[in-house]
Amino acid sequence: MKKLVYYIKRIFKMDFKEMFKTINKIHERSGKNRIYLFFDMIYCSYKYLAGYTDYFLFYFEDLTNEQRKTYITRGVNNGYLKTLNDSSYYHYFRNKVEFNQKFKEFVKREFLDLRKASETKFAKFVGRHSIIMVKPVDQSGGADVAKIVIDSKTNVEKLYEVLKNTKQYLVEDYVRQHKEMNRLCKASVNTLRIVTVRKNNKTTVMLRAIRIGNGIRDVDNFHSGGMYTLFDESGVITKPAMDREGKLYEVHPVSNVPIKGFKIPYYEEAIDMAMKASQKIPQVGLVGWDIAITDKGPVLIEGNELPGYDIYQSKIHLSETKEGLKPFFDKVIYGETNEEK
């Protein structure tokens, strides 16, 4: 019954124009009949709670029903969030100032809230830090995040006013990443995305990924031009990186550093940090932690209370069986495999 209610709600919210655009894209890449794709998409939306975007991203047209049922789709992920995450605690993750205060021991850098800090305090802050990062307090995806170099030409008074006018209220000391991470891509801080599940006083690492900037923008976010790939238990990247358009990168397009085989420094310490951070707010049990690597070890950048499920299961990063991660997540979250939720 819950599944039917969810399905009906999704039908009323569906953007049919975008759906048919997506069907055309799938037709172009697969050659399969559009009418067949439409009805198969409707079938998958009910059977597997998969939206048309899920269908497109996971190449459902090429999968058997046995393979399809192993995928974390939008509806499946919503079930995980309802089970593990109490939304009344989301403010700790959505408000970047609150996050930095709550997780200060892992953040390990000085920060300033311009909603409270005077111009004099800001001037002293930039006097201590030659490079700063400025961010909106409550936006995600790397939107309006910028790196600013402070030098003798910087008009501090004007900068203070500009940042307040653009609502880039959070000012942080710039994270200087490890020389190896800098070698991979020096334009942005390249962060690890470590997804954890905290349940029954136990933390399980669900996913180990690395986000890499495109060499042009100051951020590594997937939705802001960056790319991502996975690394194994020994900290070695095992697959090519992929950007949002589905383009694969064996070698970084700007630094020319080979991506597959790259060894991430301090990866064990980063995993340990994510596991310890997961204990701070156990009411939010499913979190994606973004962690940077410096010459002195890992530092926490932010936590995502709604970690994207799409990047877990891209075609390039799956095993040869083309199976998704639902059985693993189900086992950890519900205590069994392939349970219908």
pLDDT in tens, 114-173: 999 999 999 999 999 999 999 999 876 566 788 899 999 999 999 999 999 999 999 999
Please give the structure tokens belonging to residue 223.
Answer: 């939705």
User: pLDDT band for position 12 (50/70/90)?
Assistant: low
| For range 303-312, the mean pLDDT | 88
What percent of the chain lies above the pLDDT cut of 90?
A: 77
Is residue 287 over pLDDT 90? yes
CA–CA distance, 191 with 213 (Å, rounded to integer): 9
| For range 13-22, the mean pLDDT | 84
**Would you state the pLDDT for residue 110?**
96
Phi (first) and psi of residue 271, to 5 degrees = -60, -45
For residue 332, the SS3 value is helix
Is residue 210 over pLDDT 90? yes
The β-bridge partners of 196 are 205, 287
Is residue 291 over pLDDT 90? yes
**Would you state the pLDDT for residue 317?**
74
The β-bridge partners of 209 are 193, 230
Apex CA 219: angle with CA 218 and CA 224, to 5°?
115
Cβ pair 62, 40 in contact under 8 A:
no
CA–centroid distance for 313 within its chain: 13
Residue 230, amino acid:
L
pTM of the model: 0.88
Please give the structure tokens belonging to residue 99.
Answer: 């996050």
The H or E element containing residue 215 is: none
Q: For residue 268, give the nearest of 229, 292, 233, 294 by alpha carbon.
A: 233
Cβ pair 49, 75 in contact under 8 A:
yes
Phi (first) and psi of residue 63, to 5 degrees = -105, 150
DSSP state of 258: B
